[in-house]
Structure 1
């Protein structure tokens, strides 16, 4: 009837360990605040070491019972257990000295400092048992870990190709990367928490101290899955709530693999997996919008001169030398004014000539901009007679021709442009055309009308 007492007392260990830490740390602090010629804090220090020793004893005893009844191996707890008792002996030793002499013995500060180091080391060993040996270091940058002599095993995130994913080896190329990211920090050859190693398929099949973690075709009998879906507050939930948690799609992939039999032979395409489930893992290459070439910056004097002429001239960002040039405040700009931009023609990536007095001849000048990416010719008199020359602007991606005289035939001359992605030609002769042709770029010519909003009729 009373057999539960020792296991219950063992479970108080995580609570009891905080008491000696607090008392002893407080005592050590008072020791260093005290002067040898005063006994102001002597009684408090004596009491701190006494209570610290008593609760360190209770913590060590409860830790022993937790080791006995909770399934920990001796190799896992031995140094924590030994240093726990060293802490007990040291605490009572310092209490005996300061109580016996009713004064600060010789080198007492050094002895108190040593006790504090022992206390920290004992607590660190306990933290390793509960959170894993890499608990403190795993959040450090890889470079710093390497400097500390720690072997860095950076687990790459799961990446799945958008084409041909059906042929991926389900375990090796999908499940194992998920386990590496979410489970391997605690379940690897060096840190086999619960005697479980999830670094390979063979060790996964071996299971841990509680038995097998995978039973093919049985989700309920496969803790490698079932523990993932437990509430985070559940003590059996894995990974521990303070660790990185797998996303919903990763859990779904593990579930489908177990349902397939949990073997090495299955392919990802064998499972009832949709592309929506795989979307978070598809590799999407982020291409920079502007050219990646390095370019000399325009001089401050040149930018100042352009601004005095009426141009808006700014860099794309503080880290970039590419320029955005706009004639928003220089509506009188005409073809002859192009010479004012020649000094920065290599830096211009965005040029806005909206509402200016340019003609089709300006295209001959625009084609000389080697890095032009965005060109706005809106509300001008151009007809697009020589738009095909813009094919020489190989970096051009977005072209705006709204409210011009450009026809669909002129826009067709841009077909095959090496970089063009979008052309906008609203309120132009091209927008009045009925065409079926598809281009290698997006063509926006349809008129869009927004529905009226209630706020449109409010009088302020």
Structure 2
């Protein structure tokens, strides 16, 4: 009935370890602080090391109990435990030494500093056990991790190549990455919870304290799969509900692996797995809409100045230097106002001059925007004279000339533009003559009409 007491005390280890840290650090600080007033601070220093030694002893005992009950490997905890016991003995030894000294003991600062170093090493090893050896380095950029001698860490979702997925090994290329992301933190050689190691093919097939976790080609009877699909509040559900849960597609992939015989070296193309199970994991090579360029961020006060002058100005996405500029609230914008945008010349990728007082002359200035991707000239007085200058905008993808006087001949000067994908020319002379023109870009002219429906002729 009371068998739970020792395991429960072991669970208090993460709490108890903070007590000796606080007491010992406080005692060492007082040693350096006291100076010639040591006799005044001596009782407090002694008490700090006494409490530090006692609490370190309790922490060591609770840590040992946690090691026994939580499935940690001895090689993982032994140095942490040894240093914890050493911290206990040194702290109590220093207390006893100070208690029996009539004056300031010789080299007291060195002894205090040594105890602090051992305490730091003990805490560092404990942090490695709890969070992993890469706890501090995993947040660093991959290049810096490599420079420090570590392996680049990552916890990215499983991705498979869409073109040659057949060549990917089922276990090493698909199953183990899923287990690494969702299960390895508790089931690895250093922390064998339930005596189960899910970090290797051999460990998976060996099973744990409850026996095998794979039952032939029967996923429903294999604990590896069956416990994942239990309700999250079920006692046997794995991973525990407070841990990261695998996606439904990942669980289905594990099921397919088991039902294919849980092979080690078989490739996906050699199994009967359905492509539909793999599609959620195919890499998607997304091409960014706006150019990927290195330009300086426009200072916030410069953006604020643009807004004060009447422009709508915002960045295209968080932490991006690229800007969207619109004159929706600045209908009086004209050719002579262009200098207002000069400060943002390199950052503008989206420019909306709809309904403004510009003329064709401004096209020469627009052509100087190196990263312009979207240009809207709707409802302006332009007729397309000088439209060929936009060939200089090498990143221009979308051009809007709705409700303008641009003709098809003027528009043809953009034929062959390296990046231009689509031109919108609703209610313009270009739209009227579009049927006889073929361009390298798609010309959208509007004038859509819906086919008549039988219900349109029903008389009620």
1:309 to 2:336 alignment: yes
Take 2:384 and 2:141, find their aligned partners in 1: how far apart are those partners? Answer: 56
1:378 to 2:402 alignment: yes
Deviations 1:268-295 (A, max 9, x none): 88456747x844x332323243566899
Equivalence for 1:171: 171
Local SS of the residue matching 2:91: helix
Local SS of the residue matching 2:100: helix
Equivalence for 1:330: 357
1:399 to 2:423 alignment: yes
Equivalence for 1:133: 133
Within a 5 Å distance, the mapping from 1:273-284 to structure 2 comes to: 274=276, 278-279=279-280, 281-284=281-284
Question: 1:384–1:47: structure 2 CA closer, same or farther, 3 Å change rule?
Answer: same
Deviations 1:56-109 (A, max 9, x none): 223323433444555544323221221122111101111012211254312212
Take 1:232 and 1:42, find their aligned partners in 2: how far apart are those partners? Answer: 54
Take 1:367 and 1:80, find their aligned partners in 2: how far apart are those partners? Answer: 67
Equivalence for 1:390: 414
Local SS of the residue matching 1:52: helix
1:123 to 2:139 alignment: no
Question: 1:70–1:431: structure 2 CA closer, same or farther, 3 Å change rule?
Answer: closer
Within a 5 Å distance, the mapping from 1:6-85 to structure 2 comes to: 6-7=6-7, 9-68=9-68, 70-85=70-85
Question: 1:118–1:346: structure 2 CA closer, same or farther, 3 Å change rule?
Answer: closer
| Alpha carbons 2:387, 2:413 under 8 Å: kept | yes
**1:349 deviation in Å?**
5.0
Take 1:139 and 1:259, find their aligned partners in 2: how far apart are those partners? Answer: 38
**1:318 deviation in Å?**
7.8
Take 1:88 and 1:128, find their aligned partners in 2: how far apart are those partners? Answer: 20
Within a 5 Å distance, the mapping from 1:156-305 to structure 2 comes to: 157-162=157-162, 169-184=169-184, 191=190, 193-194=192-193, 197-207=197-207, 211-215=211-215, 216-219=217-220, 221-223=222-224, 226=227, 231=232, 237-238=238-239, 246-264=246-264, 265=266, 267=268, 270-271=272-273, 274=276, 278-279=279-280, 281-290=281-290
Deviations 1:124-153 (A, max 9, x none): 223333333333333333333333322446
Local SS of the residue matching 2:423: strand
Take 2:148 and 2:83, find their aligned partners in 1: how far apart are those partners? Answer: 24
User: 2:445 aligned to 425, 439, 444, which one?
Assistant: 425
| Alpha carbons 2:291, 2:395 under 8 Å: kept | yes
Take 2:348 and 2:262, find their aligned partners in 1: how far apart are those partners? Answer: 54
**TM-score, length of structure 2 as denominator length:** 0.71
**TM-score, length of structure 1 as denominator length:** 0.71
Let me know the Cα RMSD of the aligned residues.
Answer: 4.5
Take 1:248 and 1:330, find their aligned partners in 2: how far apart are those partners? Answer: 56
Question: 1:165–1:317: structure 2 CA closer, same or farther, 3 Å change rule?
Answer: farther
Local SS of the residue matching 2:285: coil
Local SS of the residue matching 1:42: helix
Question: 1:202–1:286: structure 2 CA closer, same or farther, 3 Å change rule?
Answer: same
Take 1:73 and 1:108, find their aligned partners in 2: how far apart are those partners? Answer: 37
Question: 1:169–1:75: structure 2 CA closer, same or farther, 3 Å change rule?
Answer: closer
Take 1:235 and 1:114, find their aligned partners in 2: how far apart are those partners? Answer: 46
Equivalence for 1:112: 112
Equivalence for 1:301: none
Take 2:225 and 2:57, find their aligned partners in 1: how far apart are those partners? Answer: 38
Aligned residue pair count: 412
| Alpha carbons 2:400, 2:425 under 8 Å: kept | yes
Deviations 1:6-26 (A, max 9, x none): 555545444433332332232
Equivalence for 1:94: 94
Local SS of the residue matching 2:36: coil
